[in-house]
Chain A
Amino acid sequence: MSTLEIKNLQVSVATETGFTEILRGVDLTIKSGETHAIMGPNGSGKSTLAYSIAGHPKYTITGGSVTLDGLDVLAMKVDERAKAGLFLAMQYPVEVPGVSVSNFLRTAVTAIRGEAPKVRTWVGEVKSAMTELNMDPAFAERNVNEGFSGGEKKRHEILQLELLKPKIAILDETDSGLDVDALRIVSEGVNRVKENSELGIMLITHYTRILRYIKPDFVHVFANGRIVEEGGPELADKLEENGYAEYISA
């Protein structure tokens, strides 16, 4: 049982004219097995929340705290956060030329588990995870994200989720750029991990479409750098009908 606790988180980003405040006091607690949808208009700070928790150097934390099972996440280096059990599935996964997917996965799993996976079981583990995600085995020999289609990049993110087995996963706009079939495959992957591991999920999305596949327990409306309304799944239905207009004008 794990708990990610975000308290009064305030984050700024450096611009040409100085610091601009993006997160203005975010409070959110995610426990194992829970799925929290974070929904909001573009530019509301949803991705900043995701990247700040993962430790992207672009963002400066100006106040508040983030803890995982009581440990100070903000004091950890980026790789230490992953080792502590956090995972960020990125909206725009980065190309790493010359580094094969198989080499990358093995290096990451070795770092997270603290020892190299046994060759015999590892090959099978990767293969079955790839098969479940409808990925061609030849994929493993390609360079990380290089020349991947939008759908391939997202499947590759979920493949990592399956292999790295984090405690809490942040899925940043995982639904963007996916057609219906890819969305279903990716969502099934997330649900499979959740069933097998009591994963806690922060699902960041602009649209309600993905919530048909990944059922949220809680829905949080994000606007202007903070959570402005919270509720159960029914809140998503309301957003589907009314959009974000009332939160932006508020």
Chain B
Amino acid sequence: MSTLTTNYLIPSGREEAWRFTPLSRLGGLHDPVVEVRDVISLLAQDLPAGVTLKRVTSSAQFPISQTNDIVIMRIREAISEVLLLEIAKDSEIAEPIKLTRNDTGLAPQLGRTVIKVGSNARATVIIENQGSAILAEEIEIILEPGASFTFISLQEWENDSVHIGRHHAIIGKDASFTSFVVTVGGSVVRLLPTVEYAGPGSSAELNGVYFATDGQHFEHRIHVDHNLPKAKSRVNYKGALSGLNAHTVWIGDVYIHAAAEGTDTYELNRNLLLSDGARADSVPNLEIETGEIVGAGHASTTGRFDDEQLFYLESRGIPAEIARRLVIRGFFAEIISKIHLETIEERLMARIDNELAKVGE
């Protein structure tokens, strides 16, 4: 058990960063008075050659990146051990490296993980979050020059789970980082997929999918820090909502520093409202300090089913219910099919079918 020594401010809900989040449902993760467990709950099965996983003391693996998020600061202070996953340089790991967290219980817990991807290594890590948990975690991902790394975080929590997390990638010269963040379960999920660059020629592709039903709050706050020249970023998040008080929040902050000449960035968020009583907030923010860029753009749409699409499918004999399913599957397939891992794709599409079956119940 740990308590904090620092006299942190507790978010009141009036802060810009917290104004959408239902603080009363966080299980105390944001409140320094509430006791939290300091445990490593991520488990790995067989690790391929070239991959090592170990626990190191917190003082042996200080945080590399900056944060001003109060919960993440709390994790950093409270944690005694860090899970360190290292992928050897030049290694090509064909099979995805799987870390799972299953049913770790409803006592609040904190965790910190660091993933180091060696230069010119190629690998994929999948983090599977299932069962019940009240969790705040930070994952820092360091890509050495020339690395190519895919990070997949699946939130398939039970309905009572709370998950606050930061996935921060530091992308080296000519390295490319791809992420898929899929949130389809939990009571409150608030994730901060963030990126900064450590060298030119680096690129980030941040993809996300979420499907919130009755009462679920799913929040994804993306921050791409174009701090260096000649880096690229693409953000594409898609969500569906259905049922009373289903709430999703997507924040897309892209900051292009004065030094970041040659930046190429585009971010996109699309939300599909499947019923009354659901709410999607979508806020793209683009701040540009130099005009010497390749491109910078964003788009955000939130809307209902396209009646013309449904009519087209139905006019070919396809019943309305199947037509709706085709359209939603298609909506998500655009992102999920890019994962290129058949078992994961099938599982996620089945999960989406399952969520869809709840619509109209």
Q: Is the CB of A107 within 8 A of B315?
A: no
Q: Which B residue's beta carbon lies closest to that of A166?
A: B317
Q: Which B residue's beta carbon lies closest to that of A86?
A: B315
Tell whether A164 is near chain B: CB-to-CB under 8 Å. Answer: yes
State the Cβ distance, B353 to closest chain A Cβ, in Å.
Answer: 14
Q: Which A residue's beta carbon lies closest to that of B312?
A: A94
Complex-state Cα separation, A131 to B20, whole angstroms: 55
Q: Is the CB of A108 within 8 A of B316?
A: yes
Q: Count of A-B contacts with CB under 8 A?
A: 83
State the Cβ distance, B303 to closest chain A Cβ, in Å.
Answer: 13
Q: Is the CB of B334 within 8 A of A107?
A: no
Q: Is the CB of A77 within 8 A of B330?
A: no
Q: Which A residue's beta carbon lies closest to that of B330?
A: A98
Tell whether B283 is near chain A: CB-to-CB under 8 Å. Answer: no
Tell whether B329 is near chain A: CB-to-CB under 8 Å. Answer: yes
Complex-state Cα separation, A34 to B317, whole angstroms: 23
State the Cβ distance, A60 to closest chain B Cβ, in Å.
Answer: 15
Q: Is the CB of B322 within 8 A of A111?
A: yes
State the Cβ distance, B341 to closest chain A Cβ, in Å.
Answer: 18
Could you tell me which B residues sit within 8 Å of A by CB distance?
306-309, 311-320, 322-323, 326-327, 329-334
Q: Is the CB of B315 within 8 A of A82?
A: yes
Q: Which of B307, B318, B329 has the most CB of A within 10 A?
A: B318
Q: Is the CB of A99 within 8 A of B330?
A: yes
Per-residue CB contact flags for chain A residues 93-124 toward chain B (1 = under 8 Å, else 0) read 11111110001100110011000000000000
Residues of A within 8 A of B319 (CB): 79, 111
Q: Is the CB of B317 within 8 A of A98?
A: no
Q: Is the CB of B331 within 8 A of A78?
A: no
Tell whether A209 is near chain B: CB-to-CB under 8 Å. Answer: no
Interface of B is mostly: helix
Q: Is the CB of B330 within 8 A of A55?
A: no
- Interface CB pairs A-B, < 8 A, 23: A56-B311, A78-B314, A78-B320, A79-B315, A79-B318, A94-B306, A94-B309, A94-B311, A94-B312, A95-B309, A96-B313, A96-B327, A97-B330, A98-B329, A99-B333, A104-B326, A107-B322, A107-B326, A111-B316, A111-B317, A111-B318, A112-B316, A164-B317
- A160 with B316, Cβ < 8 A, contacts A98-B330, A99-B327 known: yes
Complex-state Cα separation, A98 to B318, whole angstroms: 17
Residues of A within 8 A of B307 (CB): 57
Residues of B within 8 A of A144 (CB): 312
Tell whether A130 is near chain B: CB-to-CB under 8 Å. Answer: no
Complex-state Cα separation, A95 to B310, whole angstroms: 11
- A78 with B311, Cβ < 8 A, contacts A108-B317, A111-B318 known: yes
- A82 with B317, Cβ < 8 A, contacts A96-B326, A99-B326, A111-B322 known: yes
Tell whether A168 is near chain B: CB-to-CB under 8 Å. Answer: no
Q: Is the CB of B309 within 8 A of A79?
A: no
Tell whether A54 is near chain B: CB-to-CB under 8 Å. Answer: yes
